């Protein structure tokens, strides 16, 4: 008996370099596929399609990319940008574990949304939780899409700070994206 699940799915890195993790956007249920079965996607893409199980391994049927949003997961030694540091310090002062802040370009238009999540000793590794789909990023991306149209560029950064930053860059071809790539790629 074949069972199936219809997407959309978010593409994340798998447990190994030759594997994709497809995270059901609605339920956050994971499915692992060989990268060879879905070669023309990037981490962070949102795809439509049907996962069908005819045994242990799922197969993806009729997959199409819905949005070309890209996720970049980086553990970094680079200094974290001031908007993230300020966002975290505000959360800490208010006794909160998470905070968000809209960032603006020199033209005073919104160019991104930064989220910071406290990540200290004794707590789960949030960076790994985001990367492995255990803590889905789709609610944050959906919130950003309420004021701007995807695709976005999403940077998940684990600096040498007591927090993880998730920065949703609203224009993946803009100056902010180039600055992020120059700094963290």
Cβ neighbours of residue 147 under 8 Å, at least 6 residues apart? 110
Q: What angle do CA 100, 118, 106 make, to 5 degrees?
A: 35
| DSSP code, position 21 | E
How many angstroms separate the CA atoms of 152 and 155, rounded? 10
Token code pair at residue 9: 């799915």
Burial degree of 3 (CB within 10 A; 0-12, 13-18, 19+): exposed
- Residues in the chain, pLDDT under 70: 1
pLDDT at 48: 96
pLDDT at 133: 95
Q: CA dist 170 to 61, 82, 114, 173, Å?
A: 30, 18, 11, 9
Decide: 112 and 91 in contact? Cβ < 8 Å. Answer: no
Cβ neighbours of residue 39 under 8 Å, at least 6 residues apart? none
pLDDT at 1: 59
pLDDT at 176: 97
Domains in the chain (CATH in brackets) are 3-67 (2.40.50.140), 70-184 (no CATH)
pLDDT at 53: 87
User: Which segments of 44-152 are extended strands (E)?
Assistant: 46-53, 58-67, 70-75, 98-104, 110-118
How many angstroms separate the CA atoms of 110 and 146, rounded? 13
Beta bridge pairs of residue 164: 117
Reported as a single tens digit per residue, the pLDDT across 119-161 is 877 778 999 999 999 999 999 999 999 999 999 999 999 999 9
pTM score: 0.94
């Amino acid at each position: 008996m074949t069972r199936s699940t219809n997407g959309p799915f978010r593409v994340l890195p798998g447990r190994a370099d030759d594997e994709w993790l497809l995270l059901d956007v609605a339920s956050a249920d994971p499915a692992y596929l060989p990268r060879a079965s879905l070669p023309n996607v990037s981490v962070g893409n949102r795809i439509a399609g049907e996962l069908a199980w005819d045994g242990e391994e799922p197969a993806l049927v009729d997959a199409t990319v819905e949005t070309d949003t890209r996720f970049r997961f980086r553990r970094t030694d680079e200094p974290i940008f001031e908007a993230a540091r300020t966002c975290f310090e505000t959360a800490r002062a208010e006794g909160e574990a998470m905070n968000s802040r809209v960032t603006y370009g020199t033209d005073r238009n919104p160019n991104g949304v930064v989220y910071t999540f406290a990540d200290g000793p004794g707590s789960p590794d949030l960076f790994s939780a985001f990367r492995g789909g255990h803590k889905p990023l789709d609610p944050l991306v959906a919130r950003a899409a309420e004021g701007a149209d995807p695709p976005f560029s999403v940077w998940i950064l684990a600096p040498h700070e007591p927090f993880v930053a998730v920065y949703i860059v609203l224009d993946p071809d803009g100056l902010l994206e180039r600055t992020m790539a120059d700094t963290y790629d």
